[in-house]
Chains A and B, each alone.
Chain A
Amino acid sequence: MNIEPAGGQGGTGQGPVISTPESRMALQNIAAHQKSGLSGVVTLKTEELFAMARKSSLWPLTFGLACCAIEMISAYMPKHDFDRYGVVTWPSPRQSDVMIVAGTVVKKMAEPIKLLYEQMPAPKWVIAMGSCATCGGPYVRSYSVVMGVDQIIPVDVYVPGCPPRPEALQHGILELQRKIQDEPKLKRGL
């Protein structure tokens, strides 16, 4: 994490200007300025600002397929409490950002999953939760199971485990947040 001194890239020398590639640091600086009572200006690329907003309020589609769904519900519930990350479950694909594929994807279910994915507005992300959704898992030799949900839709984060613990899913969400924050940089080819 490198912090450029004030007046660096994009700095004009007027007031405390902070320009860091890590927007998280920028946020911390905002907080510091607010505390000190001094007014300040933060420059940030708009895509980075949007990415910051996007990652902080991920709404997953309520979509449980099999065993992993129970652990996914556990992650929303009191002990693990997903709300802390801004992750609030939503029952319709039209308003959700991320699809957590929690469970075995069978061939009969492949079509509806594709449809649901297409119904979600961009930008959208997919988390494959559990062994079945990543690669077929214990049902790898079955005649009716799709060998991982990445055969039908693109996947951003894989969470291994059978089923993964709620903590593992939370780690997956954190990884996805990191990926979303890095996306503008990746697009610029940095």
Chain B
Amino acid sequence: MATDTGLSANIVRDPVTEQAELSINMGPQHPATHGVFRMVLTLDGERVVDVYPHIGYLHRGSERLAEGENFQQITTLFDRLDYVANFNNEWVYVRAVEKAMGVEVPERADYIRLILSELNRIASHLLFYGTYGLDTGAMNPVMIGFRDRERIQQIFEGVTGARMMHNYFRIGGVKEDLPDGFVPAVRALLDQLKVGYEEARGTLTESEIFIERTAGIGAIPPEDLLDYGVTGPLLRAGGIDYDIRKADPYSVYEELDFRVPTGQTGDCYDRYMVRMLEIEQSISIVAQALDRLPDGPVMGRVPRILRPPEGDVYVHGENPRGDLGVYLVSSGGTVQPYRLKIRGPSFCNLMALPAMIRGSYLADATVILGSMDIVLGEVDR
């Protein structure tokens, strides 16, 4: 797997103590970095002494681009930020503009958004389940994960016409009503997902090899997690039950009954388990939302040209990876935002990576990185 750009090493020997430190470059093209992430590891034997992460290999300038686009057009950029959880991204952005404009969203649209976002959360966690299996040396999970993910994408395609970049959430509602047969199709899907979930239990959750590989690795104290601004499943695995759906509820989450799974030690196995339990919770959330799905319009009263008043809003939401925040500054009377800052959850989670890897074995570095489930699209924006 060693390539000149992927993995290269040079040895620095201390002239006095004769101790050698090996410095290894990993990425930006490396199968275990989940994208174009690069880190330089300093090794003392098998132990990792230090890690220096490099990002920016996918910096597309989304924030600056957004300043030149209309409020409605920016949703397309948010689709492409965290390209594994497109609906969740769109949702946070449209909520930010809705808050700035004071737009009311019809209840049906809120439920549609919630159902699609929770399905997307499941799809995202399934992708994690698959790739994390690959990271730890199992080939089966990625097949199971993608099989089920494909089924969810089929539903998305039926609703929005696209498999990934939906651009379906609009400011004030959603683009159009659900297609006929959506509710029974999703119910059937949920049953299939439950079967897949049981399969997952056999492949990784109860696998001796997987537990040996992940338990007790990569844990840092919960206070440190918080200090670094780590959110999402990583934080909850450390025992802090901070979930924005509960802590700062938005949309109709307050009406639904679900719990926030937390771990105890914050090691890689806990992170995996928290995500798997979240799949279970999301399946239950979707089932409840389908029962309650009201009739009515799917688009609120929104002016044709959006001109939010002068001022700034900060809106955040719980993404599969953590707390996605959008800071929107409007100069008033313009159809374009003055400034749009995106707080990507992976961006902040990655800051804690050196602390997590330091002191562990080299072989565990990829396991720890994989457990963070980063998406470079929102790290670099």
Contact = CB atoms under 8 A, between A and B. Distances in A.
User: Do any beta carbons of A and B sit within 8 angstroms of each other in the complex?
Assistant: yes
Interface of A: 61-67, 69-71, 73-74, 77-79, 91-94, 103-104, 106, 108-109, 112, 115-116, 119, 138-139, 141-145, 162-163, 165
A117 to B, nearest CB: 11
9 contacts: A66-B35, A67-B80, A77-B150, A79-B150, A92-B1, A109-B58, A119-B5, A144-B61, A145-B60
Nearest to A64: B35
B164 A71 contact: yes
Contacts of B60: 104, 106, 139, 142, 144-145
Interface string B10-40: 0000000000000000001111000110000
Contacts of B376: 66
A108 B377 CA distance: 14
A143 B64 contact: yes
B64 A116 contact: no
B127 interface: yes
Contacts of A162: 165
A1 B11 CA distance: 60
A78 B28 contact: no
Interface centre among B4, B58, B127, B142 (most CB of A within 10 A): B58
Interface in B30-77: 30-31, 35-36, 56-62, 64-65, 68, 76-77
A66 B3 contact: no
B146 A108 contact: no
Contacts of B83: 66-67, 70
Given A77-B142, A108-B59, A141-B68, A66 B377 contact: yes
Interface of B: 1-6, 28-31, 35-36, 56-62, 64-65, 68, 76-77, 80, 83-84, 127, 142-143, 146-147, 149-150, 163-165, 376-377, 380
Contacts of B61: 139, 142-145
Nearest to B157: A165
For the complex of A and B, 10 pairs with smallest distance between CB atoms: A67-B83, A77-B146, A142-B61, A91-B31, A109-B57, A139-B60, A79-B150, A144-B61, A112-B5, A92-B3
Nearest to A79: B150
Given A115-B4, A163-B164, A138 B80 contact: yes
Nearest to B31: A91
A38 B154 CA distance: 49
A65 B3 contact: no
Majority SS at the chain B contact face: loop
A109 B35 CA distance: 11
Contacts of B29: 61, 63, 93, 112, 116
A74 B146 contact: yes
A69 to B, nearest CB: 7
A94 B3 contact: yes
A113 to B, nearest CB: 8
Given A61-B29, A144-B59, 16 more contacts: A62-B31, A65-B36, A65-B58, A66-B80, A67-B83, A67-B165, A70-B83, A71-B163, A77-B143, A77-B146, A77-B147, A78-B150, A79-B147, A104-B58, A139-B62, A144-B60
A109 B80 contact: no
A91 B64 contact: no
A2 B206 CA distance: 59
Contacts of B150: 74, 77-79
A73 to B, nearest CB: 7
Contacts of A67: 80, 83, 164-165, 377
Nearest to A63: B29
Contacts of B56: 106, 108
Given A67-B80, A141-B68, A165 B57 contact: no
Given A138-B76, A138-B77, A142-B61, A78 B143 contact: yes
A165 B143 CA distance: 18
Contact of B84 (A70, A94, A104, A138): A70
A166 B136 CA distance: 26
B165 to A, nearest CB: 6
A104 B377 CA distance: 10
Contact of B28 (A77, A112, A145): A112
Contacts of B163: 71, 163, 165
